[in-house]
Structure 1
Amino acid sequence: MTLICVASPKGGVGKTMVAAHLADELRRTGQSTVIAIDLDPQNALRLHFGVPMALRHGLVNSIEAGQSWEEAAIRSASNVLVYPFGFQSIHLQAEFEHAVRRHPQLLSREIAALAAMPDTIVVVDTSPGYSVAFSTILPLADIVLTVMTPEASCISLIPEIHSASCYGVEQGQQAGFVHRVIVNRFDPLNRVSAMAMPKIIRRFGGMLLGTICRDEHIGEAFASQKLVQQYAPYSRAAVDIAAVGTGLIQTVENLH
């Protein structure tokens, strides 16, 4: 019923962590069916849900073999249905992108069908920046969540994030999705971080869905292949993620 794309104009901002935790947060707060799909070739989304590192099969392998996507689905301990990206060599990644460019329905048809199911929310972790896969499903998206950090490399991209031009939305064109921004790794004791936040708040206003503070528990949870709500449920990160999740649920409810 709802398709949410988690994106970022650059890598290294914690996009996949946010996608995994928000999918889990949606499920924990009573959404009937939550599906998490990994369209990032790094194939890391699965690790947040405790999928063994040795298990490398994913949706891309199912597509290549002409199999149903159901072959790639894994039910997590928190009852989120996870579709890992899968493993590909660099050569096969190029071939896959070429195939998707020629036949967009390889991705769009399956994702649209999943998102159309009653009482279902699909959360897609996309590749950083522009990608063929993301551009294929962007017209289907109900909500796009941009993850950024309060650092110079992201601050310089604020105009592109605000207009969504970093995702191919043309200047002056109205985006066909609700666009929200999440600031990750905010550190009030860091001078750059503290200086950046007022500028971010002024520029994005109501687009700002929430802020997740820098917290070592997130890295520790990932190393343990657990979500931070399981690893450290009373940590600052867990509280921040819950607050962002509440805002996301309200955004979803406003769509319907």
Structure 2
Amino acid sequence: MIAVVSPKGGVGKTTLVANLAMALVDRERPVLAVDLDPQNALRLHLRMPVDDSGGLAVNGLARRPLADAEFLSPYGMQVLPYGSLSEAHRREFERALDGDPLWLARQLASVPLPERTITLIDTPPGGSVYLQQALLAADVAVMVMLPDAASFVTIASMERWLDEYCRPRPAFGGAHYLVNRMNAARPLCRDVLSALQRELGPRLMPSVIRFDATVEEAMACQSPVSRYAPDAMAARDVGDAADWLLARIA
């Protein structure tokens, strides 16, 4: 189970989860993509019907099994969307999560899945009850960053999250930092990447996801980039990241 997290918004985390899910399916691994973000946007990348309001938050409040809210994407992965809630119901759901930090771990453990399924959990930015739920459920954490100064200064926050929720657990498999939307033509991006390599060492994934406008075009078509443009630079980069994660999991 892989939690994909970030301390700040706008880093392309949800798009990355959708594309990683596709890359893992292409590598013949069953995938469950879980959206733990109230924006409920992951489904739109994977062609879930727009008017479907179901999801894990809806089922959680109604005390129904999460498996009942699963959607089979035409791209081949199972998707568990967040669902559509009123503001009052969202706050009620978050209060329930705050009182039961292991709710997601228990619920996902009860979802029937094929052997060797990899579960990817998308989360909202920053610290929240959702972050706590995802990191307490995860075997592996992927911390997504942009190659900018603002992301660099958030490392301390992410390390505190890992120390609180992940590292005390003997079964936790490790945390890895991933740089997204790397533009090597910009000196600042190169400088920040070098600083991250010095600061994080082997915790920084060797594969970076390079900036590629094709990703936004694919997103507009509700398609993973490897389906929209298989030869795109970002499609290759996401595939490399998927291969690296599979090797770590193995």
TM-score (norm. length: structure 1): 0.89
C-alpha deviation, 1:200, in angstroms:
1.1
CA distance in 1, matches of 2:62, 2:86: 15
Is 2:70 the counterpart of 1:63? Answer: no
C-alpha deviation, 1:137, in angstroms:
4.0
Which aligned pairs between 1:1-256 and structure 2 lie closer than 5 A?
3-31=1-29, 33-114=30-111, 118-161=115-158, 164-165=159-160, 167=161, 169-170=163-164, 176-209=172-205, 210-253=207-250
Residues 217 and 6 of structure 1, relative CA distance in 2, 3 Å threshold: same
Residues 158 and 105 of structure 1, relative CA distance in 2, 3 Å threshold: closer
C-alpha deviation, 1:232, in angstroms:
0.8
**Cα deviation code 1:164-197 (max 9, x no counterpart):** 21x2625xx6564410111001111223212211
**Cα deviation code 1:187-231 (max 9, x no counterpart):** 112232122111111222211222101111111111110000011
C-alpha deviation, 1:152, in angstroms:
1.7
One-letter amino acid matched to 1:26: L
One-letter amino acid matched to 1:207: R
Structure 1's unaligned 5+ residue stretches are none
CA distance in 1, matches of 2:228, 2:134: 33
CA distance in 2, matches of 1:70, 1:229: 27
Contact 1:114 / 1:122 at 8 angstroms: preserved in 2?
Answer: no
RMSD: 2.0
Identity %: 34
Contact 1:63 / 1:106 at 8 angstroms: preserved in 2?
Answer: no
**Larger deviation, residues 194-203 vs 36-45:** 194-203
Contact 2:101 / 2:132 at 8 angstroms: preserved in 1?
Answer: no
CA distance in 1, matches of 2:67, 2:137: 21
CA distance in 1, matches of 2:132, 2:156: 20
User: How many residues align structurally?
Assistant: 246
